[in-house]
Structure 1
Amino acid sequence: MSAIDSKLLSQLAPRDYDGKEAQAGLRFAAMAKLYHTQLVASSIAANLAWIMVLNKLTDDATRWAGPHIIDLADGKIVWLNVDAFETAFKAHFCAVDDKKAALSELVKLCKASHKLGTAKDYTANFNAIAARTPLSDEDKRARYVDGLPYKIQNEFAVTAHKVDTLEKAQKVALRMDQQLAERAEAMPKIKGWGRRGERVAADRRGPEKRSCFNCGEKGHIQRNCKKPPRGQQAAASTATPPNPTPSSNPSTSDELVALRSQLKELSDRIAAVSLAKEKEGF
């Protein structure tokens, strides 16, 4: 290899990449293709050239590069060409932003599903989003259970089902969701019978079917009644006796005359006492 070749290679060598930013990963993949092509053109074996490329990966990216370096050192063909390398590299590193977005979507889904939705809808949405995340199966199971609607979580707590995998957790949750739906469908039939059902029906009657507790008339309730309260009506009826009906019996007429006289005398006494009290108060 000439001095010019060495200088060119150093210029083509990609910058170290830590696997964190997807945009930086795209630049690394593009430079790695050129770098590997130039290394092979300089009579360096293809596997050794790939090892030199992978040695530019640092930090978190080394976890992906490590197994590939071992395979390359053993003489295995990992990528048939630079395009195959680029595809594999982008699939792992350049989808990081999408994975972060998927995690954010998953958190929002779990929070929203506590009170709304069914386990069926939640499970379908969860699986679609979780497939785009880097979460392990155990993490997915834990997040799935935490995001279930509260009514399903309560059933989990009561029945104490063993759900050590995501598949088992989803199977149990869907069965519970179906059972709760069947109970909900049966509830209206139960409420329609007995005293509880009668009370609900009575509460739902419109104003036109109700009777006023004060006056007894239909079409309004007591608080909207325009007539005096029942106590005042009773007092008024007691203070003013009804006029007697005429009678042809002389003895009855005499008794009525005497009764009227007594009532007038009593009324005069009450008026005199009231007048005296007013004067004293004055």
Structure 2
Amino acid sequence: MSAIDSKLLSQLAPQDYDGKEAQAGLRFAAMAKLYHTQLVASSIVANLAWIMVLNKLTDDAARWARPHIIELADGKVVWSNVDAFETAFKAHFCAVDDKKAALSKLVKLCKASHKLGTAKDYTANFNAIAARTPLSNEDKRARYVDGLPYKIQNEFAVTAHEVDTLEKAQKVALRMDQQLAERAEAMPKTKGWGRCGERVAADRRGPEERSCFNCGEKGHIQRNCKKPPQGQQAAASTATPPNPTPSSNPSTSDELVALRSQLKELSDRIAAVSLAKEKEGF
């Protein structure tokens, strides 16, 4: 290998990668492809070139590389080309950011499920998100129980159930959720007014739809009623009817005048007869 080739290889060699940051993993994969291509071009066997690439990995990344190095040393073809290596490498290391995003989403789900939703919906969403996180089974179980709706957590607190695994915790939670739903369905329905909106709608009826509390007729309310209050109506119906007043009819007035004239004439006659009798007595 010439001095020029050695200098170029040292420049193309990727920096050590520990498997912790996805962005650094992307840079390593890109440089590893160039490095391997140049090594093979420099007459280095493909498997040995891959071993030289994998030796740049440290810590967690080195643990992933170790079984591949053993296979390469035995002469096995692990990756058919550099693109196959890049795909496998990114699938393992560069999904870390996705795992962090999934973990953040899982935290939000647990907080939101305390008061809303059912254990069935929560369990389905939890399993879908938790599968993309780096959490252990024990961590998943603990987070699942902490994120259950409060009504289910209360049941957990007052009952003795063995929930030492995620599967057991989910099985118990789903059974409790079903029991609570059946209990709520069996409760008697409340009578009386319906929902608040119905009461408000009833209070907002127009005057033409309301009935007067005084007379019972529709189209107005009590304060606009032209009829006397019910108490006064009852008193008026039981009171003694008033004496009839003389009619203002002209014919009736003439009859009264004639009657008065006759009474005056009769009175005058009686007075004259009384006077004549007194004179005879003398």
Q: Cα deviation per residue 1:9-59 (whole Å; 9 max; x = unaligned)? A: 111111122323322211111110111122222232322222211121223
Name the CA shift for 1:34/1:198 in 2 (closer, same or farther; >3 Å). closer
Distance, in Å, in 2 between the alignment partners of 1:13 and 1:60 is: 20
Identity %: 95
Instruction: State the 1:75 CA deviation.
Output: 3.6
CA–CA distance in structure 1, aligned partners of residues 241 and 142 of structure 2? 83
Distance 1:218 1:134, change over 3 A: same
Q: CA deviation at 1:212?
A: 19
Kept in 1, the 8 Å contact 2:193–2:199? The answer is no
Query: Structure 1 residues 7 and 186, CA, compared in 2 at 3 Å: closer, same or farther?
Result: same
2:280 and 2:114 map into 1 onto residues whose CA distance is 76
Q: Summarize the Cα distance change of 1:242–1:115 in structure 2 as closer, same or farther, 3 Å threshold.
A: farther
Partner of 2:243: 243
TM-fit CA distance, 1:190? 8.8
Query: Structure 1 length as normaliser, TM-score?
Result: 0.64
CA 1:83/1:210 → structure 2, altered by over 3 Å: closer, same or farther?
same
In the TM superposition, what is the alpha-carbon distance from 1:66 to its structure 2 partner?
2.9
- Aligned partners of 1:281, 1:57: CA distance in 2, in Å? 169
Please give the root-mean-square deviation of Cα atoms over the aligned residues, in Å.
14.5
Classify 1:225/1:4 alpha carbon distance in 2 versus 1 (closer, same or farther; 3 Å).
Answer: farther
Q: Could you tell which deviates more after superposition, 70-79 or 160-169? A: 70-79
Q: CA deviation at 1:280?
A: 81
Contact 1:207–1:219 (CA<8 Å) still a contact in 2?
A: yes
Moved more, 236-245 or 71-80: 236-245
- Structure 2, unmatched stretches of 5+, are none
Return the alpha-carbon distance in structure 1 between the equivalents of residues 141 and 281 of structure 2: 87
Q: 1:109 to 1:8 in 2, by over 3 A?
A: same
Following superposition, the deviation at residue 241 of structure 1 comes to 27
Residues 37, 197 of structure 1: CA spacing in aligned structure 2 closer, same or farther, 3 A cutoff? closer
CA deviation vs aligned residue, 1:215-258 (integer Å, no higher than 9, x gap)? 99999999999999999999999999999999999999999999
The separation in 1 between residues aligned to 2:26 and 2:80, in whole angstroms, is: 20
- The more displaced of 218-227 and 56-65 is 218-227
Measured in 1, the distance between the counterparts of 2:203 and 2:213 equals: 15
CA-CA distance at 1:144 after TM superposition: 0.9
Which structure 1 segments of 5+ residues have no match?
Answer: none
Cα separation, partners in 2 of 1:194 and 1:148, compared to 1, 3 Å: closer
Q: Distance in 2 between matches of 1:84 and 1:266?
A: 147
CA offset digits 1:66-108 (Å, max 9, x no partner): 3333333344433222111111111122111111111111111
How far off is 1:127 after superposition? Answer: 1.3
Question: Which has more radius of gyration?
Answer: 2
Contact in 1 for aligned 2:137/2:166 (Cα 8 Å): yes
